[in-house]
Amino acid sequence: MIILEAPAKINLALDILHKRSDGYHEIDSVMQTIRLADQVTFEYNPQFELTCSDGRLPIDQRNLAWRAAELLQQVTGVSQGVKIHILKNIPIAAGLAGGSADAAAVLTGLNQLWELNLSTEELMNLGVRLGADVPFCIHKGTARAGGIGEKLTAIRSQLHADLLLVTPNVEVSTALAYNRFQAAEALQRPQVGRVVEALESGNIEQLTQAWGNVFEELTVIDFPVISQLKKIFCQFGLKANLMSGSGPSVFTLNPPTALIEPLCKALPPQWFQCLTSF
C-alpha cells in the first residue's frame, strides 16, 4: 500500500495575459502549496477501482484521477489494475486545484506502485495533458507559472505563514471565469515580479501590497458571495485578503489569534473554514 498527500495550492498572484489561438489563456501566476491536503491511497488490485470519501465526486472517467490512471496505462502499456481511494479534505471547485492535486498524486503514486521509473519531468509532461494545474501539483512548493500554467520556475521562498482559508458553499467553473475575460478590460493586475521578490526576501508586507488576482473582478459578477466574504475579512481588520484561482476561496495571511474565533463565528456555518499554513 502507498499513501500520498495531495496538497492544495493557492495563487499569490494571478494575471491573465491574453487568449491564445488554441483557445487557452496565457497566464503569469505565482503558485504556493499549502498544508491542506487530500489523502490518496493505492493498493494492488486485479481491476481498476476508484473510491472517494465525498459522494458528490464521480468515480469514473469524469474524475481527473481516473483519467490520470488511464493516461498512464495508455502511455506505458501497463495492464495492471489498482484500487485508489481519495480522502477528500480540499473543497470541490474552490480555486484550490483539488482535482489537479488528486490527479498529480495518482501519476506519482502509480509511478511508484507500478515501478515505471518515470522522471518528475516526464510526469509533469503527462500532467499538462490532464489539466493546467497538474504539473505544479507534481512540482509542489513555490513557483512562478507561465504558459497555461505548465511553464514553472521554482521560487526560493523565504516566507512561511499561517493562513485562514474560507470557501463559500458555491462551486465556480474555471471555464466560466475564463470566458468572462477580455484582454482590453482594465482589471486590477498583480505585480508578479514584486511578489516573487517578496517571497525570496521573506517580506510579507511587500507580498500583500503586490499580490492580486484578475479573476476576482470577473468571478464576483456571478458570485457576489465572494464580495460578502471579503467584506467580513475587512470588518475584522484583515484588509489584505485574496481570492485563490477562479474562486470562490479567499485567504488572509497570519491572522491575529484573537480574531480567528470571532471571525469564524461571523461566517455562515455552511462555509468551509480552515486554518493552515505554508
Are 112 and 2 in contact, with CB atoms under 8 Å apart? Answer: yes
Residue 166 pairs in a beta bridge with: 250, 273
Name residues whose C-beta falls within 8 Å of residue 58's C-beta, 6 or more positions apart in sequence: none
Q: Residue 57 has what DSSP assignment?
A: S
What's the distance, Cα to Cα, between the start and end of the chain in Å?
28
- Give the angle 213-107-243 at the CA atoms, nearest 5°: 15
Helix axes 120-127, 64-76, angle to 10 degrees: 120
Locate 110 and state its grid cell.
502509480
Give CA separation, 103 vs 61, 109, 223, in Å: 12, 10, 27
Calpha distance 80→42 (Å, rounded): 12
Cell numbers 491573465 correspond to 16
- Give the angle 260-264-269 at the CA atoms, nearest 5°: 165
Catalytic residue of the set 15, 38, 102, 133? 133
Active site residue 133: yes
**104, amino acid identity:** A
Q: Which residues are known to be catalytic?
A: 9, 133
